[in-house]
Structure 1
Amino acid sequence: MASPEEVAFGSLLFWGIAMMLVAAGCLLLFLVTYQKRLLQQQLRLRTAETLHQQALLAAVIEAQEGERERIGQDLHDGIGSTLATAKLLVNRLGSQPGPANAPDLLTLVEELMATAVQDARSISHSLYPAVLARFGLAEALQHLVDVANETGTLRIGLALHYPRPLALRQELALYRICQELVHNAQKHAKGATRLDVALQQRGERLVLTVEDDGCGLPAPAGGSPAPAVVAGAGLRNIDVRVQMLGARLHQQVPAAGGTCFRIELQTPEQPS
């Protein structure tokens, strides 16, 4: 017959084993629940990433279609109409008998053809800026500003501090962003007399700023502050490129008026 001490020890051992089994079961249940929640979270993240990639792809396609539409309109309204006018003049020159003002018509045809050549070069440059591939982003921005100052009424200033060039793909994206912002300001910055463009390396950040002194953004109903990003096909294109760069876009209304766009991009550390 077991002694009371042996009975007490056996009872204690039984409860100890039972508690260990309960603890092991709770731990196993926790691990299974944690793993299940982790898998669900990973699935949600993958789903969100997939949706984001789909939205980004749709925005890229929309941007490409918008650029094609703009190029088609430039070809139709610019080169197309110029060549059509030149063709009419050439037909007049080829009529029998020839017109009395044939020399003047010939001079006009030459001027029209020169205009068509210039328009073709401009469209070609907008499709792919050769100066960017040859000389880099700084020279491409300088060329963009010089051309805009020659052809537009809005005076554009440029400040450059770009000692650490990026890869060509990133430079092309930044160039397109600046090109779109300059075009947007020329078209929509009411009352603006000056546009300032700056590309500045600030430590590990590269900052592109485009600021005009126009009337600024229209205030939304209710007197609430201006939105961070204004809707529009051009600005949606900019937003797509900003996301592809992994950069940040800030849109502000300075106290003095106008509109300021600032794109900030983290650049890799310069090797020592």
Structure 2
Amino acid sequence: MIAYFIIFRYFPMYGVQIAFKDFNPLKGIWDSPWVGFEHFERFFRSTEILMIIKNTLLLNVLSLIFGFPVPIILALMINQVMRVKFKKFVQTVIYAPHFISTVVIVGMISLFLSPRSGVINTLLTAVGMDPVFFMAKPEYFKAIYIISEIWQHAGWGTIIYLAALASISPELHESAVVDGASKWQRVRYIDIPGILPTAVILLILESGRVLSLGFEKVFLMQNNLNRSASEVISTYVYKVGIQQADFSYASAIGLFESVICLIVLVSVNGLAKKVTSNSLW
């Protein structure tokens, strides 16, 4: 484990200096000339910076607001199921989407939302409405992305909360039942406080990725028509760094993203420590 972090996490930090150099692959990192903060200034002067940061923040914040509570709710509901077979069936059904490839997920989204043969547009046509090309309209992109993310990953996230619920002493519930507590009261005063430390830790970790949005799914869902709502930092870095081979500029943007995420992580961790006494450190 230590070797893994040294080789794949710490050693690559040597390449961070590319962000401060005019990197030339023929000269290598060490011999490329220094340019200071030139690439950062170029990014801040870019006409697309506001659009990119806005889209990245909105997708992350909205995913956090709408997606973070779902695994908690699912775990609390599943924990109340008494029939073991039905409980396992539900768990299997909601876990399954997590194991579907992102490429397949995006293909399913495109198929379901197709203006010609998609299920959604078929229903709209059946009630007398005109079909909508959802994937081409920027105003629908964020909703489609967030809903698909919740469907794909919420079930998997319930595993952690179910494990936390399983660690709660049954004696607490037995005592509550003897005292006449209802199921809702037991959930409110026993289950929720029992998983609160776990929820806080996961919230801190999620907050630390405020500018770090997954690349693959956004890129596959992106097209020229919805780019105003789908261009995020990760896709922009790919285009300038890989497609345009502007490695120094892409590294500067990536470093900016990492620094902001670190600041947010430390800030949220400190706030959580004061408010709930739970934190990463």
Normalised-by-shorter TM-score class:
under 0.3
Larger proportion of strand: 1
Q: Greater helix share, 1 or 2?
A: 2
Higher relative contact order (CA closer than 8 Å, sequence separation 6+): 2
Q: Structure 1 length as normaliser, TM-score? A: 0.23
Q: TM-score, normalised by structure 2?
A: 0.22
